[in-house]
Structures are given as structure tokens and as C-alpha cells.
Amino acid sequence: MISERMTGEEALAYGALAAGVQMVTGYPGSPSSGTMDALIAADDSHRIYIEWSSNERVALEMAIGASIAGRRALVCTKSVGMNVLLDPLMALNLTPLRAGLVILLGDDPGGYGSQNDQDTRPLATMSELPMLEPGTPAEAYDMVRAGFALSEQHQMPVVIRETRSFAVQLEMLKLTRTPCDAPKAKETIDPMRFVPVPKNVVQKHRDLHQRFAEVTKWSQEAPFNRMRIGGKDGLIAAGFVYQKCLDVVGQEEQTSFALFKIGTLHPLPERKLLDFMASCDNVLVLEETSPFVELAVRALAQTHDLGTTIFGKHTGHVPREGELFRWQIQSAVCQLFPYFTPVNPYRPEKEPDERPPKKSYCSDCRYDEILDLCEEAARRNKQAVAFVGDPGCLVTVAHRLYAKYAIGSAVAVADGMARAGFPRKAVALVGDSGFFHSTLPALCNAVHHHSDLLIIVLNNSTTLTSGGQPHAGTPQNARGEAAKALNISAVSRACGVDDVLTISLDSTRSELVVTVQNMLRKKTIAMLIIDIPEASGQTAV
């Protein structure tokens, strides 16, 4: 064991190492990419199989295969990536696992690096799976190990949620840096175990409920929940928000408030929560971002006819959008409990100091230059254009886009606009990583239906916005080793796109403008791949 100062995302990585993880998959996105990067750096002996997958669904399906084969697996995804992997997840919950499988879910309250302000916690209730959230890096290290054990014992995936602000928190940890070997789960003859079909799906659902009931018993005594009975006013806080709460009201032994720290978001430790609420006249619930815990606490109090008054987002004391900052917690506590005097007052103008630092991988971005070229070409053609983009690098020119939704959506959205008679020429802008992520199905659909559409692929040969991670079109894997690079032009032609042209952004301006002009005149599906030479601000694995 060693003592080392670590961030939350690093602690999650070393927890997985200590649990004997043997496969790690994911798709770049913050938060959660940092944990993948830490695992790649820590496993210098290459005992673990690690890959940046084409998308989050593929990442989960790879991990499912590893679990079936008896090896523990970790999937790293951010909030919107959890949406992508939901399809196989909703069948996976019905098939009892063999080896442990943990999904690290990086939520982004405040949308610092996301196209929405999504709270992904409600997916835990929909998928009927356990979801945990650490409050400190030290707890994260322990929670990942417990998550694998819980997954294996009850044969179901376990989701561990982190937030962007938690990921960068620092704490001194005692841990092991040596990867551990978890015993390989034994294969058993169990027909239809991994095959949910109409004739067995109801029974499998019933079995899931039985297994989850055992997890519910575990939650009541889990070490990640704790309460301190104190005065008649109480605070309930979930995950990392609990640490923010302590910063406001003082440490557990210093404050007069009753405190309840929740680490098992689903299932909640209901019996302990009931005991806690019964000791309080008033309770304020603190969490990010939606009133997920608050609604459950309200239902508990009402079902058991407690006289406790519940405050939070529904009463307007806590905001329902964005990251929950310390000054907002302080404001809610002071409003509800006038006797409280902050020792270290937090003010709204200091909010920027609380926000997690954002790394910029987009210096020297040339996407504005590309859109300038496209607009000039359109003017020469006397055409009006509407740019439809994907998330990712295109966030740098978001103010110039007509529409932008999920990764991989630009082609189908632009195609739909064209089919509906939109008066401007819809141009789909796609990044190279997004092309392999989920553009291909929409591309095949457009080809099959003889669409009139221009697709421009912006190829910088990396997943740049998230830190320069490789994808299926780059010649190296997650560890920087040689890998087969798929050619975007060849793949597109194989999908049936006949008009495919590749040009470098370093070509002369006149050549670029004429090329875009010609592509805009096409009356069928056409693709222009613009290679963007590596700029000084770009990083690559």
C-alpha cells in the first residue's frame, strides 16, 4: 500500500485495478475519459485489455462478452453516452452475469462539455440496476471494488456515477498500484442464460426483481451511506454534493444539523432514511441535478405518514438546473434556517472559482475557416445553405450552425430537412470520430433512399475535443500501438456513396472554394472529406 494524492477520476481507475478488472472499454467524453487515461498509464505491464471503442454501445457489448467469458470488465461513458448504450443495457439487466461488470457514468451538471444538462440517475430506476455515487476520491476507490463484488454476487451490472466537479477533486489516498488478478468466473451450463426472448422475458424480469431485492438489503447497511442524528433540522445530500454541504455548514462533528450522506442512489437505504426523517421536523434535500432523491424521500415520508417537512427543488429552495454550487446551498440553508450563520460565506461572484477547470484541446481550430469557405462557395453558386452539425469539435462553431443534436445525427437531420422541402441547402458536418461512432447507419439510409445531400467530413485524425484519443480511422489504439486505420472514403464508397472527394485544407483557397462549389451543385448524395493537418495546439495519443 502507498499513500498518494489523487483526483477522483484517478481513484476510480486504481479502484478498478485493485478489483482485478481485465477489460476496460469506453468512448471519449468528459467526465470518464480521465479514468481511462489513468488506467492506460497505470497498466504499463499490459495485463488489462483496454480500448477506445467505436461508440458506447460497442463498448458495453465488448464488456458483456468479457463478463460471459468470466472476466471483470469496466465501461467508461459520459451522460449522453449512457443514452447510446441503453439498448443492450435493457436486455443485459435480464441476463444474470458471470463476472462483474461496472459502468462508470460521468454526468455533467452544468453542461460544461455536453450538449445538455442531463441527469442520468433516473435511468437506474428504468433499468432496475444499482447505482452508486462516491463523495470523495477515497470512497471512489473503495466503491469501485465494492461495485465489482456486488455485481458478481448478484449477477447484474452496477453503475457508479461521478460528476465533472468530483472528477478533479484531490485527496490523499492509501492504495495499491499493482493490478490484481481476480479469479476467473467458472463457466456453467445454463441454457438460455444469456438469451432473453419473448417466451422467457417475464420470468427473467421476475428473477431480476428477486436479485434486486437482495441488493436492496445490502443498501441498508452499505458503508457508503451514513447519518448523524442531531438537531430537529436535517440535511440529506447525495454523492459529491455532501462534501459541498459540509464546506457550507461545517464538518460533521461541528454542525448542529442532522446529516445524512447518500452513496447508494438506487436502491436508497429506505429504513435508515425513515429513521433519520423521523428525528427531524424539517429536511432539506441537496443533489444534482433533478429532484431524483427528493421525490423518493417525499414518497417515503408520505407513505409512512411522517410529520417531517421536505424542502428542496420542488419547493424552489434549490435550483433544478446546472451544477449545485456552495453559495446556492448556503442560500437555501440560510433561507430555511435563519439561525444558521455561515462561518465561511460563499458568494455568487465566486462561482467561477468553484467550476471545474476545463482543458482546451481546440486551440488552432480551423473549423471557422472551413465554414467561411462553404459560405463563399454557396454565395458564388447563389445558394443559401444551412449547416447541420454533430457535437464534438463543431462546438467551436456552434453559433454558425442551424442545428446540432446528438453525435451521428447530422446526416439524418439534414436529410430530413431536405426531404421536407427546407428552402436552404442542408449541409451535414461530421467529424471523423463521429463518422465511425454512429454516422454510418444514417449514411446507409440516405444512400438507400437516393437522397440529395452534401456531407462534409472534417478529418483531423483524432477525437480532438476529448483529448486526442484514437478512433477506428487512426493508425494506433488506446495504448499508442499500431492498429489498422479504416479509410473514410473507402468505407463511404462501400456504403454506396459514388461521389466522394478528399481534399486538404492546406490546398489553395481558390481550389477549396471551387471544390465546395462543385460538391454543392450535386443533385445526389455526395461527400467531401476535408483533411485538417495537425495544428500546434492539437494533441494525439
Would you say residue 267 lies in a domain?
yes
Identity (one letter) of the amino acid at 377? Answer: A
Look at 210 and 359; give whichever has higher pLDDT. 210
Would you say residue 362 lies in a domain?
no
Segment 282-319, tens digit of pLDDT: 999 999 999 999 999 999 999 999 999 999 999 999 99
User: Using CB atoms within 10 A of its CB, is residue 209 exposed (0-12), middle (13-18) or buried (19+)?
Assistant: exposed
Among residues 221, 249, 264, the one where a domain terminates is: 221
Q: How far is CA 59 from the centre of its chain?
A: 13
Would you say residue 539 lies in a domain?
no
Q: Is the pLDDT of residue 363 over 70?
A: no
d(CA 34, CA 466): 10
- pLDDT bucket at 540, cuts 50 / 70 / 90: very low
- pLDDT bucket at 394, cuts 50 / 70 / 90: low
Q: Is the pLDDT of residue 464 over 80?
A: no
Q: How far is residue 433 from each of residues 179, 242, 408, measured CA to CA in Å?
A: 31, 37, 9
Across the range 270-288, mean pLDDT stands at 96
- 254/163 same-domain check: no
Would you say residue 168 lies in a domain?
yes
Helices (H), 250-309: 270-278, 292-303
Across the range 470-483, mean pLDDT stands at 90
CB atoms within 10 A of CB 38: 20
- 196/233 same-domain check: no
Would you say residue 541 lies in a domain?
no
Q: Is the pLDDT of residue 536 over 50?
A: no
Across the range 262-291, mean pLDDT stands at 96
Comparing CA positions, the residue from 249, 6, 300, 39 lying closest to residue 134 is 6
Give the lowest-confidence range in 260-264, 314-318, 370-374, 460-464: 460-464
Among residues 164, 193, 221, the one where a domain terminates is: 221
pLDDT at 251: 87
Across the range 89-112, mean pLDDT stands at 94
pLDDT at 537: 37
Across the range 159-179, mean pLDDT stands at 89
pLDDT at 175: 81
User: Using CB atoms within 10 A of its CB, is residue 169 exposed (0-12), middle (13-18) or buried (19+)?
Assistant: buried
Longest pairwise C-alpha distance within the chain: 76
- 231/209 same-domain check: no
- 484/382 same-domain check: yes
pLDDT at 539: 36
Would you say residue 240 lies in a domain?
yes
The CATH number of residue 488's host domain is 3.40.50.970
- 381/343 same-domain check: no
Q: Is the pLDDT of residue 535 over 50?
A: no
What percent of the chain stands above pLDDT 90? 75
Q: Is the pLDDT of residue 369 over 50?
A: yes
- 212/272 same-domain check: no
Across the range 96-117, mean pLDDT stands at 91
Place of cell 488552432: 364
- 338/208 same-domain check: no
- 38/156 same-domain check: yes
Q: Is the pLDDT of residue 538 over 50?
A: no
Across the range 257-267, mean pLDDT stands at 97
- 348/406 same-domain check: no
Beta strand residue intervals within 218-281, DSSP E: 226-228, 233-238, 258-262, 264-266
- 450/307 same-domain check: no
Across the range 477-489, mean pLDDT stands at 92
- 438/487 same-domain check: yes
Among residues 326, 354, 382, the one where a domain terminates is: 354
pLDDT at 186: 76
Q: Is the pLDDT of residue 348 over 60?
A: yes
Segment 40-79, tens digit of pLDDT: 999 888 899 999 999 999 999 999 999 999 999 999 999 9
Range of the domain at 285: 226-354
Q: CB of 124 within 8 A of CB of 177? A: no
Identity (one letter) of the amino acid at 2? Answer: I
Q: How many CA atoms lie within 13 A of 307 on its CB side?
A: 5
Q: Is the pLDDT of residue 272 over 90?
A: yes
Number of domain units in the chain: 3
Q: Tell me what the pLDDT averaged over the chain comes to.
A: 91
The CATH number of residue 286's host domain is 3.40.50.920
- 163/288 same-domain check: no
Comparing CA positions, the residue from 159, 187, 309 lying closest to residue 236 is 309
Torsion angle, alpha carbons of 168, 170, 175, 177, to 10 = 50
Across the range 331-346, mean pLDDT stands at 92
CB atoms within 10 A of CB 229: 13
Segment 9-41, tens digit of pLDDT: 999 999 999 999 999 999 998 888 899 999 999
Would you say residue 7 lies in a domain?
yes
Segment 195-247, tens digit of pLDDT: 999 999 999 999 999 999 999 999 999 999 999 988 899 999 999 999 999 99
Would you say residue 361 lies in a domain?
no
